[in-house]
A and B are shown apart, each in its own frame.
Chain A
Amino acid sequence: MRALVIDDSRAMRMMIGRLLTQQGFEILQAGDGQEALDVLGACEPHELPVLCTVDWNMPVMDGLTFVQSARKRTELRDLTLMMVTTESENHQVVRALAAGAHEYLIKPFTAEAMADKLDLLGLDPSRRVA
């Protein structure tokens, strides 16, 4: 199982990547939404990640635009999109969900909170079929 971590902060990518590695994911990274679309576009169908964590504020293409673009691609229909961002206003969560994000995790967060989100999404290791 692969996860694509999209964030313009390298430190944040490492941090999220480490948590997801502990949960059994193999990690891909992208520094903005456009780079993420490129990474996804270069994947064979069987190599596609099952999960993207998506920062909101990024240069080139922000997270919301990325979510909108990814939702339009039928080859990405099984991809679970989770916003991971400091944006924490009610209307922002609503907006991201309306754009097609499945979950929303507000920074800063704990390892437990991340695990809980994966659990909610049916992506935690104990529930995964190998």
Chain B
Amino acid sequence: MTLSPEAFRFVADLVRRESAIVLETGKEYLVDSRLRSLAVAAGDADVNAYVDRLRRPDGAREKSKVVEAMTTNETSWFRDREPFQALSGTIFQELMQRPNASRTIRIWSAACSSGQEAYTIAMLAAEHVVPLGWRVEIVATDLAQSMVDRTREGRYSQLEIGRGMPAPLLVKYFQREGTGWKVSDQLRSMVRVQTLNLAAPYPPMPVFDIVFLRNVLIYFDAATKKQVLGRVRQVLDPQGYLFLGGAETTLGIDDSWERSTIGRFTVNRPRGAVAAPTVGTAPLSGLAARKVI
């Protein structure tokens, strides 16, 4: 039996309350297919019986599984490429030209999924920043505990590695482990991992030079987007940089940001941040193939 409209509404409300993720009418098929395996695991005859289980007083653990099941964790290494070219070719250099007594760059990967974004940043930092005597501290957070655990573990299957990892960086920063690959201690030591719900008040956090808030606002309604952008601005340096996903924008949502273009990439900065830097773009890595860019 497929999900009843009533059960769909219950799940949509739950997911919205706990994660701000909007499940509009028409997403019944998605909820249905993602809850099916949870229903089987719980020993329920169908998804409606499983949703009934959620309503019981002892349903809390099962509820958080449902919220996690409704997150989309699609990610890859160097996702979309241009943001990372802007980072390594321009933004790192600009940040290192500023007076900074601790010579530390702080970066937040704010919906890190299984960690590819955070470790991509860490690789670029190890290539372009660390050799110049600077430190890079990366905080990686996600709503889903399973994603936080995966990021902390730093183990990736061959298929996951196949999604965008340049071979020269793979052999430099990963070790073969079983049939997959494991991130090196050097990268892991640059990344601190914790759970965080973007749609709830944030725990105390450092001021970041860069926030990656990529491919997560798309799941929220306009009011939540605005609220999240406002909170992120509180933890971003006034001269900092905000990276959004390819389909995301601050335009028409929060006008306290301005855009600046670096190569083919548009980065957001708090309104009033200094004019866009003009250092040229460089390849993703000195080791990567010469045809990058």
Contact = CB atoms under 8 A, between A and B. Distances in A.
Given A97-B168, A105-B162, A116-B162, A122 B176 contact: no
A110 B292 CA distance: 21
Interface string B154-182: 00001101111011101100111000000
Interface in A70-109: 80, 88-90, 93-94, 96-97, 101-106, 109
B171 A97 contact: yes
Given A88-B158, A93-B171, A120-B78, A112 B289 contact: no
Interface in B257-293: 284, 288-293
B73 interface: no
Q: Which 7 A-B residue pairings sit nearest by Cβ, starting from the closest?
A: A113-B162, A104-B167, A102-B289, A122-B291, A116-B164, A90-B176, A93-B171
A48 interface: no
B163 A112 contact: yes
A15 interface: no
Contact of A90 (B81, B171, B292): B171
Contacts of A103: 166-167, 289
Nearest to B76: A116
A116 B176 contact: no
Contact of B176 (A88, A105, A113, A120): A88
Interface size class of A (residues with CB under 8 A): 20 to 34
Interface of A: 80, 88-90, 93-94, 96-97, 101-106, 109-110, 112-113, 116-117, 119-123
Nearest to B166: A120
Interface of B: 76, 78, 81, 158-159, 161-164, 166-168, 170-171, 174-176, 284, 288-293
Given A112-B163, A113-B163, A122 B292 contact: yes
Nearest to B158: A106
Given A106-B162, A116-B163, 19 more contacts: A80-B291, A90-B171, A93-B170, A97-B171, A102-B291, A103-B289, A109-B159, A110-B162, A112-B162, A113-B162, A116-B164, A119-B164, A120-B78, A120-B284, A120-B289, A121-B291, A121-B292, A122-B289, A122-B293
Contacts of A109: 159, 162
